[in-house]
A and B are shown apart, each in its own frame.
Chain A
Amino acid sequence: MVEYTKKIQETAKRLLTEKKVDAVIGYRRGTLPMMNEPVLIKEAEKTDQLYWDSFCGVNLANYLPKRKEKLAIVAKGCDSRNIIIDIQEGQIKREQLYIIGAPCTGMVDRRKVWTRLGGKEPFAVEESKDQIVATGNAFKETLALADLLQDNCLICQHRNPVLYDELIAEALPEQKEVDPYEDVRAVEAMDAEARWQYFEELTRTCIRCYACRNACPLCYCPTCFVDESKPQWLGKSLDPTDVRTFHFLRAFHCAGRCTDCGACERACPVGIKVRQFTKKLNRDVLDLYQFESGLVLEGRPPLDVYRPDDPENFIK
């Protein structure tokens, strides 16, 4: 996907020069391998900073809520779905946006690269077509991109942006054959005690830095329930009950809204499988309401409206 870079730069330059937008939100090349930094470009002369490769995993829709200006934004499939949610939930207006759609072959999970390299630190990682070349202290390894993708990208069924003003590459075939909920079924099959242990183990290393929440485009509440101090709903320590309450309540707040973009899991500095908290809820919303979030601008999300024929057999 590195070839997108030039096209993104040209598009951004054109939009800024023609004054179609006030600024462009994209990525610029990171200061270390396998990281890129979200950036806001306001001047046409600075559009050459814009960059694209398979390490653009940050969901840029996270930078939209409450912005006032007219913006162009680079959007993968998942970003575009979160842009739709931002519009539906009144965080930004469609007229404010020019969406530069980027069909996405999946983003790399740098932890998988680290694992593949067996602890050796890559000093440079270069991408070409379907592989990356990692070089470090006396080693050079070529790895296939397909083996390194984020878990959510492996099962992604919306690689193409669903809402855009312009596509910078031809649309990709969608991955029709994937089984997105295999892991959810495995958890459902556990008995209560094993399931409890499973979630207890998942949250064990949490340090409550809130990177998962803050990287999530859905978490734009002015004050999160964990930060409320009058009254204070939740203890502030690493007490396991408080840690679990944070993760699980946040997940419930994302039910029917989560696009499984993987931003939470990608941001977690201690490797928590954060998507395990949201995926079951995504599947439930799909089963109960035949609804997938962020696919159409029209209508309201199912947990946002009451319909007399809403399923209620889960109320016991």
Chain B
Amino acid sequence: MIEKILSKDELSSWLKDLGKSFEVYGPVAQGDQHLFAPLSEYDPDFTFQNTRLSPKGLVQPASERMFHFSVDPENPEAHILKEEPPKTQSCIVAGIRPCDARAYDLARINFITSDYIDPFWKQGRDRLTLMGLGCNQPCSTCFCTSVGGGPFDTAGLDLLMTDVGEGYLIRSCNEKGEGLLQKAPGKTATEKEQKQADQIKREAEAAITAKISTENLKDQPLMDLFNAPFWDEVQFACINCGTCTFFCPTCWCFDIQDEVHGNEGIRMRNWDSCMFPLFTLHGTGHNPRAEKVQRVRQRFMHKMKYYVDKYGNGVACVGCGRCVQFCPVNIDIRRVAQLMNDYKA
């Protein structure tokens, strides 16, 4: 592990330099929100708390082309799906929050298994180098420390930056990060600077006051939770929009669609949401989750029970708090997790 101190100007020039061999993404202010955008086009703003949309889209875009095809009857290759060119451009995501980086690791379990590898997700993820930025001031809705993460968690990162006031202390988290950091400007961090960064980390962890309990979820009988009476109350306010699922860095569901314009067609996949009735509508017209209560229950059961049981890897939530902040009707996953964890049939 190496640790370097870079002034804010040095970071800025390093990112510009990296831009010659990588596509560099960073948090960019747009209107009243931040989002990850290429720094070849925009200036970064590292003073953000959380980006409105998570960087999930860098690996799994909201709409992603998978194949193209022709429907021209004259074309001998009509109706043959041709893969889109692979994504090969290496990227650096500068300023990604530790929770969002960890979310990629939770999603990886779904996209890369011993039986199947999703080539689109894998290409998207493999090309990324994650230069995280620890959260000096977590939001009141953050609960990463309750779900296995932390404001300075290095689990999903290649590099971790700590804002130490005049500059950043940058720490390598693995060999890939170390290789990159070796070529960076700046000086090796002194013991005093390391201590300062550790202090910032401890203070940030202490500043996270939102907590959820998940310890009972694993042993709760699945059908007891499924049939629990509290779903009726939880679901009432829900309007079944896709805000929670689209904002969630760990929600990975997608819908495959073909679109044809003239003789040319594409097959793409788009973010989908278990909140939408169409999500489970069968070709027969039958819908196994026709009622709102079934859809609301599905979202929480997937994150807090099915995932827990299937992978033995904790809950499918990194505690970023986006769904809590932006649910239009204040359905709070922290409250629902508590109901599930505390439930006694």
**Cβ of B242 and Cβ of A208 under 8 Å apart?**
yes
Known contacts A114-B32, A207-B246, A209-B273; is-contact A62 B332 (Cβ 8 Å):
no
Q: Whole-angstrom distance from the CB of A202 to the nearest CB of chain B?
A: 11
Q: Scan A22-40; emit 1 where CB is below 8 A from any B CB, else 0.
A: 0000000011100111111
> Is A286 engaged at the interface, CB distance under 8 Å to the other chain?
no
**Cβ of A31 and Cβ of B335 under 8 Å apart?**
yes
**Cβ of B241 and Cβ of A121 under 8 Å apart?**
no
> Is B137 engaged at the interface, CB distance under 8 Å to the other chain?
yes
B52 to chain A: which residues have CB within 8 Å?
A: 269-270
Complex Cα distance A202/B240, Å?
Answer: 23
> Is A14 engaged at the interface, CB distance under 8 Å to the other chain?
no
Complex Cα distance A287/B308, Å?
Answer: 58
**Cβ of B241 and Cβ of A209 under 8 Å apart?**
yes
> Is B122 engaged at the interface, CB distance under 8 Å to the other chain?
no
**Cβ of B140 and Cβ of A121 under 8 Å apart?**
yes
For B233, B241, B257, B273, which residue has the most chain A Cβ atoms within 10 angstroms? B241
Complex Cα distance A38/B330, Å?
Answer: 8
Complex Cα distance A214/B63, Å?
Answer: 22
Q: Which of A32, A40, A207, A229 contacts B325 (CB 8 A)?
A: A32
**Cβ of B331 and Cβ of A211 under 8 Å apart?**
no
**Cβ of B137 and Cβ of A236 under 8 Å apart?**
no
Known contacts A31-B335, A237-B257; is-contact A121 B330 (Cβ 8 Å):
no
Nearest B residue to A55 via CB reads: B330
Interface members, chain A 50-102 (any B CB < 8 Å): 58, 62-63
Q: Scan A261-302; emit 1 where CB is below 8 A from any B CB, else 0.
A: 000001101110000000000000000000000000000000
Q: Which of A32, A38, A137, A236 contacts B329 (CB 8 A)?
A: A38
B242 to chain A: which residues have CB within 8 Å?
A: 207-211
Complex Cα distance A76/B326, Å?
Answer: 23
Chain A's interface: helix, strand, loop or mixed, by majority?
loop
Interface members, chain B 28-77 (any A CB < 8 Å): 30-33, 47, 49, 52-53, 62-63
Q: Which of B31, B63, B273, B324 contacts A32 (CB 8 A)?
A: B324
Complex Cα distance A87/B61, Å?
Answer: 42
Stretch with Cβ within 8 A of A (4 or more), from B6-14, B95-103, B276-284 = B276-284
> Is A235 engaged at the interface, CB distance under 8 Å to the other chain?
yes
Nearest A residue to B335 via CB reads: A31
A58 to chain B: which residues have CB within 8 Å?
A: 237, 328-329
> Is B214 engaged at the interface, CB distance under 8 Å to the other chain?
no
Complex Cα distance A121/B335, Å?
Answer: 21
Q: Which of B31, B140, B326 contacts A205 (CB 8 A)?
A: B31
> Is A123 engaged at the interface, CB distance under 8 Å to the other chain?
yes
**Cβ of A37 and Cβ of B237 under 8 Å apart?**
yes
Q: Whole-angstrom distance from the CB of A42 to the nearest CB of chain B?
A: 10
> Is A239 engaged at the interface, CB distance under 8 Å to the other chain?
yes
> Is A238 engaged at the interface, CB distance under 8 Å to the other chain?
yes
B277 to chain A: which residues have CB within 8 Å?
A: 223, 227
For A35, A238, A271, which residue has the most chain B Cβ atoms within 10 angstroms? A35
**Cβ of A40 and Cβ of B255 under 8 Å apart?**
no
**Cβ of B239 and Cβ of A39 under 8 Å apart?**
no
Q: In the complex, which range does the number of interface residues on chain B fall in? A: 35 or more
**Cβ of A227 and Cβ of B241 under 8 Å apart?**
no
**Cβ of B334 and Cβ of A239 under 8 Å apart?**
no
Complex Cα distance A267/B240, Å?
Answer: 12
For B243, B271, B326, B329, which residue has the most chain A Cβ atoms within 10 angstroms? B329
Q: Whole-angstrom distance from the CB of B68 to the nearest CB of chain A?
A: 14
Q: Which of A38, A211, A237, A271 contacts B243 (CB 8 A)?
A: A211
Known contacts A37-B331, A39-B237, A137-B137; is-contact A31 B324 (Cβ 8 Å):
yes
**Cβ of B247 and Cβ of A40 under 8 Å apart?**
no
**Cβ of B324 and Cβ of A267 under 8 Å apart?**
no
A208 to chain B: which residues have CB within 8 Å?
A: 242
For B243, B255, B330, which residue has the most chain A Cβ atoms within 10 angstroms? B330
For A40, A114, A214, A269, which residue has the most chain B Cβ atoms within 10 angstroms? A269
Nearest A residue to B236 via CB reads: A40
Complex Cα distance A238/B271, Å?
Answer: 10
> Is B259 engaged at the interface, CB distance under 8 Å to the other chain?
yes
Residues of B near any A CB (own CB < 8 A): 30-33, 47, 49, 52-53, 62-63, 137, 139-141, 233, 236-237, 239-243, 246-247, 255, 257, 259, 268, 270-271, 273, 276-278, 281, 324-326, 328-332, 334-335
Given A119-B47, A227-B278, A270-B53, 10 new contacts (CB under 8 A): A31-B330, A32-B325, A32-B332, A37-B329, A121-B140, A209-B243, A209-B273, A223-B277, A238-B270, A267-B328
Residues of A near any B CB (own CB < 8 A): 30-32, 35-40, 58, 62-63, 111, 114-115, 119, 121, 123, 137, 205, 207-211, 213-215, 223, 227, 229, 235-239, 266-267, 269-271
Some 14 contacts from A to B, beta carbons below 8 A apart, are A30-B330, A30-B332, A31-B332, A37-B237, A37-B329, A37-B330, A58-B237, A211-B328, A214-B239, A215-B328, A227-B277, A236-B255, A237-B63, A238-B62
